Structure 1
Amino acid sequence: MALSMELRCWGGGWGLPSVHTESLIVLAYAKFSGAEVVTSPIDWTWKTLTATVPELACGESTVTDPTQILNFLRKQRFNADYELTARQGADTLAYIALLEEKLRPALLHTFWVDAENYANVTRPWFASHSPFPLNFVVPCRHANLAISRILLTKGESPLNRINEIEAKLYTDAKECLNLLSYRLGTGVYFFGSSPTSLDAFVFGFLAPLCKASLPSSPLQTHLSQLENLTQFCENILALYFSSDQPASPSVQETKDANLQKLTQLVNKESNLIEKMDDNLRSSSPQHKQHRLDPKPSLANENSTPA
């Protein structure tokens, strides 16, 4: 009997099953490989501060980090890469390394360092999904970790400050997106007609950038111009995650507002029709009550005056 697998990760938002890149990678690969994974969001728990996600629990085993989780799933015979050739396997490793080196620093800057995006999108989301008082701590902690990671990977001398390396971050990221777009071409997936681990990694990196409503993002603007990559993300969402996603709050609120307006309009029209009908009835001659003159009684007609 197969052991049940539980994936702890950040929850969904922005039309995605998770807003977290690493969580998206594992969720997508689980779908591609047919692994039955129970998703347990860490939202509203104290794990939002201390947990390392994604975290896959299976029996007495607990695995973290997307690469290790994917290897664990392969050992459980959930393998989305079994048809890849040796050359395609090597290409997969090369492109994943490219994503980590060129694209991740720019994504961290976009969501956690850019002041406008952080204040209007990233911080409000993570704060609203963390319990009090962690809602004041978690976003700041993630932002500090993002800055440290960027400086660790890209802050070599003399580019040793965030504002000095920002231009280089986005130049490298745009080049990475161009290479991915060229490699994907007109294909649905990167290797043939079935998605693989590379598709899971690319989806995890690109989907938040595609779907988040960022007020300031040259990288998002560049991605929107690469139609095959944006369509790639939309296809995966439609094919593998559409049944998992309830209507978003904004869409549902719009529907409710429209229904309320329609109801109010119908009520107003109904009241207007009733008033018009009353006015017509009151002004119509056949509906006026005439005072009838009393008829003389027969007794009075036959009686003789005294």
Structure 2
Amino acid sequence: MPVVLPANQPAERFYRGGARIARFRGTPPGAGREPEDWVASTTSVHGQGEAGLTRLPDGRLLANAVAADPEWWLGPKHVATYGADTAVLVKLLDAGERLPVHVHPDAPFAREHLHTGHGKTEAWVMLEPAEVRLGWSRDVGADELAGWVERQDADAMLAAMHVLRLERGDAVLVPAGQPHAIGAGAFLVELQEPADLSILLEWDGYAIDGPGTGHLSLGYPAALAAVDHRGLTRAEADALRTADAGTVGDLLPGAAGFFRAERYRGDVAWDAGFAVLVVVAGTAELVTGGGARLPVSAGTTVLVPYAAGPARLERAAGLEVLLCRPPA
């Protein structure tokens, strides 16, 4: 059976937000520091125990359920390639303030220094317009970056980054190693490798101990080696963005080795496999090969396991849905 997932918002995050998630889901607003909704998550907040993990309606953690029967959830082909690893994490993110400049390590760095199998390449699908900063606009030397971080010179960092003014429906790939900062007011669906690994380049003014916790316990001299120092040309930065809000099907062709994000409007069908649905607008009926029929509407998030069989959305009315899946 598909699993309808309620909000899963870790409390007391270091930046403000959450009101847009509440409106999207039709739930009461929280205290204002629940800016992330971790959907179908087998990943915990770094250093915070079970925070961020999805709990199923029967009380089990999704991570434990997948580990107990990975082929039921993920399928034999996925398990043969990735093991009992969902290989994708989906979030709703509501930036009530600009996020600090930060970066995520890639998989080779994470394996060598953090002894984990994933880095954190991510992508955004915008639900509202926003401005973001992504990638250096010129080469930034290691000493120059280290000086900015030590002095907390956020103005210098932001001035050296590309500005992308995104519209609703735009999709953006954020490769690991690229510095970025999501602007205030952004509301988006985020796909990422299933790891919570962030290195803060900026922390001044945020409710977090950057010198103590912003470097993944590596210390900043080691952690900053995860940053890509090469400046992107404007064409390279723009190429990370799929700017046509009318695009349906694959939104992130360059991300296929990490995850898949597809947008559909109207009736649609797909093969059996682990999938997370985010219903952005409208209504439909989710029908699976296992015989399940489930009405869905805007604000609904649904986990469809491999065992549900081929699935389809039918009787769509004003439907816009994001289908989030692991790499093929």
TM-based fold match above 0.5: no
Name the one with the larger strand percent: 2
- TM norm structure 2: 0.28
